[in-house]
Structure 1
């Protein structure tokens, strides 16, 4: 390894600090770890954030990308989509379901609602198809070419429910070249992870690609509740997924067909009763990751099935491109768990660990969900100063949800004692347009406009009540329309520096909460709207050996949709906050430090604040609330930050490689950090998550032989085994969810051509 020169290091530090202090550089760093070019310069990163292939450094959109070694390393250890948490500026991801229901937060904006019709202000788009339901968003990540995270409102080109931003996945597409790969890894707790793909030309114009994933981990968590002892009862899963694509390439026409399927059979995330020490946010002294104390662990289960298909047709007509994307997505889930995380109750002979006011065993399911989308757009490819995109979009979803409650200590343990069925039908349509105008060779502006119309028909039918409330049938039919818009400018200061500014507006359509097992009302949140201002610079430095990109932003959100989760009433309610403000900065840097050493560093700061003096919510049963309370004993939220909104997120990666014999030895290290978070709308001692730092390391050897390339590696995630709560349930006792323990594994991969 060549020694890194002091002057290079000094330049790196100075440039990074200067950009952070100046606060004028906008973040579009693609965190790509592909090899540097022959002259040791960083590669040009191509993205599709504006539905065109463009240089990331020239796009006036806040977008970061993951690909190459970054993507491979982060997703090691059989991780689900939550592997992206704190790996990209201003992005965090969490779930109270485990592998099946990810909740995304960008710049502090997200949704903690765990009902299966919950909408999110961060949209997920996979292969240009929106994945609206949260279960669809949990589809495994494999054979993916690139992940893009677009921060800030994306309401013009991507439409409804994007006031916070958008996460965009692009899978590897078929080509005429025969190629593929296969990899298998084995790790902690007997986990096995296999994925592979193969593709090539079937005819001169038709090609295909088949991608598969199989992941398995045995149950390893023991149940030690008295009278319910059982070894290896929770923690395991079997995950299978596949994708097949066909690409037809004509002279002026291309057609891409995509079919994908998922089957997951496992256990839900482990809830741990009284795992948080009262009066602190520490885990209890005797905490053990592989032990729970449940009275319903033997009945815990989670099954997810989903499938979908899309057809993208594209015609080139002179200087115009006509694109049609037709898609169908469908998902089913049944998830049952011991929600209180303990055994017994205060009115039963035994209880534990600690004080359990009442037991809670429940389940949620989607027996039927179908989503249909259609997009038709026309894009120009003129050589002149003006280009445009116009289009129409249609969305139709039929969703059925079931809520179950069970009597853990009845005459028949686990017998059903509560049932609600919800039905929600959503129809939305939009027309949109975007115009790019080159004023001079250095100055370009973009303006976008979208009209959206959204309507829901909802019913909740309770036929059995666990609380003696009787049968109940309620309906709601909210609707709204909105004009979203954005205006941006990109100015080329010189060949290496681009300045941009953007102002954008978007909305999230009305949301409904109809989980009426323990309550007698359906709540509706009105549409929320956001206006965001941001400006920044995207710069290449050190003769192309570094990138320093950053942004500063400020937004105001009116009528923000919030979920008052739990509280002593064990019931969710939707509310609107009068106003929410947020501001901060994001910094992305990437460096070629030496011939052998590459690095990335990113940092974000997000300050969020609720502004509503009249907004108050119910609080926890046993925690120490630090908010002021009103006369009804509710916490007043005015001035609080948003839940699951860390002020600081940072990530550092280093990749070292060196030629050894006929191959390459490499090591890859990453460190991610997020600061403390509140789990709920109110603030309390126990339910403030501590700062979390996780370290990963991957080392291996790669070599070529014949037409194949081989790689063998060992890796560790959460190297220092940092264990702490990452979520909680507040209606009963101090029940916690805990982050994944340290994972050690080894992988073998072969790529063939």
Structure 2
């Protein structure tokens, strides 16, 4: 741990103690169970209105802010930690903490291209985040997280064929409120998640200042002892695996009149750390079981996998009460720049050099965003009356522009390896792309309640335009490595309606039945990174998802049991898929369709006053349906290195697998999550508590084709926390463990190098928290 970080931690601790002594504690929003016998109602905004979760005709899962802080207290990425905690939600990354990929009901995108689109929309404080790096913005001082499963195209954002993850942070209030949680654990892992706010001018101006600091020391050794072509220093202890995350957000709420409300928000992120570590040959042909270490690698290149990003943004959310309706305007801007570099072959070269001295199985690359700007504007007019008839209409505009650079191995080579052969340094071995994405939409929704039946319908029309230009092609000397006949300027446009219709029947005050049919749209996509290998751009046309679901939502036994169950099915026409070419580079294409069906169940029980039990489960069966679609399989130097289970063909020396009937990648067959919280009262104002959580993941295929190696089955993780709440819940001290069994779970692969990506090791630590309100 650096001296600066130690000093910061001491100052934070002293501040907490000082505030405690003064009687106004910055505090943790404790994860204790609610008092009394009944469970608390949960309010969601799935329809852009505050409604009881049990009365919303959509499959919605909710994670509270204190639950999320428990998960991330061990240093976990605030977004990746959601994987396994919500039925039908999966999250993964092969680019460290700056490129999470989200999957809902099996729908997602395995493409690691910086310009890739995803069918899951991320919304933070009503702002759509589209670019993959913006989607990695950490979430802190959060109120709750809502996961809306299935197409949500009528009311939200864009590209929502799979669903939405909606993060709502703590907002400014007219009373002084605050929370803080500080943790310290294994590998000098430290986290501070805090927020404080209140009135500046009573009933006129209020603020909320929030921050996140996370640190972990490097704990992974680089054991490589040979020569390095790019000057990577090794062997060396503790050079990878660590990170420093510093984030701040300031919100200002202005309420000059009873009718006008203006919420201005600004945030900044400063992140540096280690990109994903690929463990070469961690997988042995014929099995997905590995004994590879998570604390040592043998990387001969890529300068020990550094990455760093700086992100800034702001928004203005203004609303005006017109009496019968409320007019809302949300204007936002986001920008980022940074890079991520990695030894993509997962280790030192295994084969001898060619006769000319060239490396035939080496790989490193870097993706860099030189600059990115995203503007969004939404205007919405919604009825205010809480009567039988409700309506809302609006418009949305989106504009994202970036300059992105991709650098390949020979760009980085240093003087000792520069010679008159194919291993020569080539400073021109990079490309620069300009990506422009603009979109506009108009939308509306109406809802009518007749006695116990509520019918809701929504519609949206979207125009989505993509434009990618190759500003700089890779070169070798004076030779341009890009096909002369291939277009350097590609434009695509998608224009589609989307809609949804739902019905909710309140059979009683405790039981609601609902059905929903929804249509979602994801615009066309351009893959430009292939230009760094001298290959033309690849593209995919728009995809459409028609989805249906039926469900029951219940509040039973005097509100001591909440149980929700949903069954669903969908068909995605022209589904966008991503495979690999001979260089391991992503290639976009459309398959005719994919179909799936499954179920989700969520249960919360208060069997006795001080015990709360929660459980969630999902089941999914998905299939790609296209007899004419093939994916290139694992190959190195012309040899297939894994065990392919699908039928294969060989075209011009390259092996392809027929993927018809295969499941979607990163689509777990099932997912089960359990949690428990038990309080033991000590005094009238203090209590001991113990809580635990557990998740289990079924068969998950990481690539488009079936193999013995590139899948997981039975991944599990567990966490526990033992603590003491006192002073009426104002303060908390606890010990915790994340991944308590130190389970090593396969999370991703690099096919041609039989390389594996694993989850983080066990973290054991202590936490301090406090709150006031």
1:27 paired residue number: none
1:22 paired residue number: none
Matches of 1:752 and 1:498, distance apart in 2: 36
- 1:177 deviates by 1.0
1:699 paired residue number: 722
Does residue 433 of the first structure (1) align with residue 438 of the second (2)? no
Unaligned runs of 5+ residues in structure 2 are 1-29, 227-233, 418-424, 636-640
Matches of 1:502 and 1:194, distance apart in 2: 41
Matches of 1:521 and 1:192, distance apart in 2: 45
Q: What whole-Å deviation, never above 9, does each CA across 1:573-613 have from its counterpart, x for those lacking one?
A: 10101010010000000000111110001110011100000
Matches of 2:187 and 2:71, distance apart in 1: 19
1:405–1:466: 8 Å Cα contact kept in structure 2? no
Matches of 2:176 and 2:267, distance apart in 1: 21
Q: What whole-Å deviation, never above 9, does each CA across 1:207-249 have from its counterpart, x for those lacking one?
A: 0010111111111110111233111111011100000000112
Farther-moved stretch of structure 1 (677-686 vs 291-300): 291-300
Q: What whole-Å deviation, never above 9, does each CA across 1:698-718 have from its counterpart, x for those lacking one?
A: 11001117xx81111111111
Q: What whole-Å deviation, never above 9, does each CA across 1:75-98 have from its counterpart, x for those lacking one?
A: 221211100001001000000011
1:543 paired residue number: 558
Matches of 2:746 and 2:386, distance apart in 1: 55
- 1:470 deviates by 2.1
1:36–1:592: 8 Å Cα contact kept in structure 2? no
Does residue 602 of the first structure (1) align with residue 616 of the second (2)? yes
User: TM-score, structure 1 length as denominator?
Assistant: 0.91
Report matched runs for 1:16-35 at 5 Å.
35=33
1:37–1:43: 8 Å Cα contact kept in structure 2? no
- Say which SS state the counterpart of residue 202 (structure 1) adopts: strand
Report matched runs for 1:453-602 at 5 Å.
453-465=463-475, 470-471=481-482, 474-515=488-529, 516-564=531-579, 566=580, 568-602=582-616
Matches of 1:145 and 1:639, distance apart in 2: 41
Q: What whole-Å deviation, never above 9, does each CA across 1:15-71 have from its counterpart, x for those lacking one?
A: xxxxxxxxxxxxxxxxx9663353x11111111111100011000011010005422
1:331 paired residue number: 336
Matches of 2:333 and 2:748, distance apart in 1: 33
1:377–1:489 Cα change, 3 Å: same
1:19 paired residue number: none
Match of 1:368 among 366, 371, 392: 371
1:656 paired residue number: 678
Matches of 1:321 and 1:118, distance apart in 2: 36
Matches of 1:676 and 1:465, distance apart in 2: 43
- 1:534 deviates by 0.6
Match of 1:107 among 77, 88, 105: 105
Q: What whole-Å deviation, never above 9, does each CA across 1:100-130 have from its counterpart, x for those lacking one?
A: 1000000000000000010000000000000
Matches of 1:668 and 1:521, distance apart in 2: 53
Match of 2:56 among 59, 62, 66: 59
Matches of 2:468 and 2:317, distance apart in 1: 32
- Say which SS state the counterpart of residue 99 (structure 1) adopts: helix
- Say which SS state the counterpart of residue 94 (structure 2) adopts: coil
- Say which SS state the counterpart of residue 96 (structure 2) adopts: coil
1:147 paired residue number: 145
1:469–1:299 Cα change, 3 Å: farther
Matches of 2:170 and 2:469, distance apart in 1: 40
Matches of 2:441 and 2:512, distance apart in 1: 32
Find runs of 4+ consecutive structure 1 residues off by over 6 angstroms. 466-469
- 1:415 deviates by 6.7
- 1:518 deviates by 1.6
Aligned residues: 709
2:735–2:767: 8 Å Cα contact kept in structure 1? yes
Matches of 2:595 and 2:451, distance apart in 1: 36
Q: What whole-Å deviation, never above 9, does each CA across 1:372-392 have from its counterpart, x for those lacking one?
A: 000001000224421100001
- 1:299 deviates by 4.8
Q: What whole-Å deviation, never above 9, does each CA across 1:417-470 have from its counterpart, x for those lacking one?
A: 5101111111110110000111x2200100101011111221124432579862
Does residue 743 of the first structure (1) align with residue 747 of the second (2)? no
1:69–1:245 Cα change, 3 Å: closer
1:357–1:733: 8 Å Cα contact kept in structure 2? no
Farther-moved stretch of structure 1 (428-437 vs 415-424): 415-424
Does residue 626 of the first structure (1) align with residue 651 of the second (2)? no
2:739 paired residue number: 718
User: TM-score, structure 2 length as denominator?
Assistant: 0.89
